Amino acid sequence: MALACAVVSDDGEIVARLQAGDEEAFAALVRQYQASLLRLAGAIVVSSAVAEEVVQETWLAVVRGVERFEGRSSLKTWLFRILANRARTTLGRELRSASLPLDEVTEHFDRAGAWVSPPVPWSDQADDRIVAERLAAKVRDVLPTLPDAQRQVVVLRDVEGLSAADVASVLGLSDGNQRVLLHRARARLRQQLETDVARI
């Protein structure tokens, strides 16, 4: 199955093949997006078992709905939109302990709005490719510790590379809320990376 390892890059082609019932095209799509879908599902629902169910339901919805895919968004955005809708529906059924995120502010300012403890300059090596890979590994470890709403936004924006407008639409957020959540998530990630950068 050589095609199973290929990265699917042409939405129109993959959609046509899926509509024709092409199993290898489906396998290639699963390989490309399964982990990403699981990561987003895990940021919306509570248990990993439920997240897996939601992802499986998403694939079924994709197979059944591919005839209606019109290409108004990218295939990737369409997948995430289906997943977010499924996960939110599931969440409505799932008994979820109240877990309003603590609104932690990771930047600290005095009453005049000046830095109390300014950011410690990062080494120039933070731009180095090897170091960047280490930082990416750290981001991956820290992501699950972010409050859910922040995690959903930063995963879609910065890990998956969706546009601000697509993320707001997939998650049902206003542009302003999307940006506030994104900023908080990035601030938290930056703070966590700081300790690693200091050891470089």
Partner 1 sequence: MRFWGRRRALVCRQAVALMAGYLDGALSDGDRARLEVHLAECPHCHEYLAQLRATIRAAGQVQPDVLSDEALDELVTLYRRWTTG
Q: How far is the CB of 70 from partner 1 (least distance, A)?
A: 21
Choose between 45 and 154: whose C-beta lies nearer to partner 1: 154
Interaxial angle between packed helices 129-142 and 175-198, expressed in degrees from 0 to 180 and rounded to the nearest 10: 120
Alpha helix segments (H runs only) across 45-122: 48-65, 75-93
CA distances from 138 to 43, 72, 197 (A): 18, 35, 10
List residues binding partner 1 (CB under 8 A).
4, 21, 23, 26-27, 30-31, 34-36, 38-39, 56, 59-60, 63-64, 107, 109, 112-115, 118-119, 121-122, 126-127, 132-133, 135-136, 138-140, 143, 154, 158-159, 161, 164, 175, 179-180, 182-183, 186-187, 189-190, 193-194
Closer residue to partner 1, CB minimum distance, 81 or 183: 183
- DSSP letters, 124-171, are GGGGSHHHHHHHHHHHHHHGGGS-HHHHHHHIIIIIS---HHHHHHHH
Q: Which CB, 81 or 186, lies closer to partner 1?
A: 186
For partner 1, the closer CB: 95 or 127? 127
